Amino acid sequence: MVLKPILVITSVVLLASACKTIEPAQAKPAVISNSSPETTAELTQLVSTIYGGRSITLAPDVLTETNILSIQIAPHKKDGLPVMGAIQEMPRQFQLLKHEDDCYLYDSQNDTLYPLETIRCSQIKIP
């Protein structure tokens, strides 16, 4: 029976991911401490995925001075001019947060924490 091994594997994966589940309130504001092309690429890929695969460009020093990242999607253009009547999205805000040794990108729009793999961060104090 093929279904049983798939069910067992799925259960193990869900159980393992549940062990790392945290609430955003448990995490603290942080900045990237190991900024590199790889960390920028990881953030760019993650934000692009959150935006449904849209092309995203982030600065190399993103999230190194502040834990806030605001993304404003560029207005729709045709022949280099803004398209009239096009719906412009409100800027979306993300925060870099740290919990224990792990770093997360928090999307305030959908109240979701995304774990970051290559990024190391340092907790900061918010005045």
For residue 83, what are the CA distances in angstroms to 28, 51, 52, 56, 90? 41, 20, 21, 20, 17
Give residue 92's domain range: 22-73+88-123
Question: Nearest Cα to 91, choosing from 115, 71, 107?
Answer: 71
pLDDT one-digit tens code per residue, 8-24: 343 333 333 434 578 88
Structure tokens at 8: 């067992």
- Domain annotation covers residue 1: no
Q: Could you tell me which residue, 68 or 127, shows the higher pLDDT?
A: 68
pLDDT one-digit tens code per residue, 54-112: 889 999 999 999 999 999 876 667 777 766 655 566 789 999 999 999 999 999 999 99
φ, ψ for residue 17, nearest 5 deg: -70, -30
- Domain annotation covers residue 9: no
- Domain annotation covers residue 59: yes
- Domain annotation covers residue 30: yes
- Domain annotation covers residue 61: yes
- Domain annotation covers residue 79: no
Number of domains in the chain: 1
DSSP code string of 28-72? EEEEESS--HHHHHHHHHHHHHHTTT------TTTTSS-SEEEE-
pLDDT one-digit tens code per residue, 23-56: 888 899 999 999 999 999 999 999 999 999 988 9
- Domain annotation covers residue 31: yes
- Domain annotation covers residue 80: no
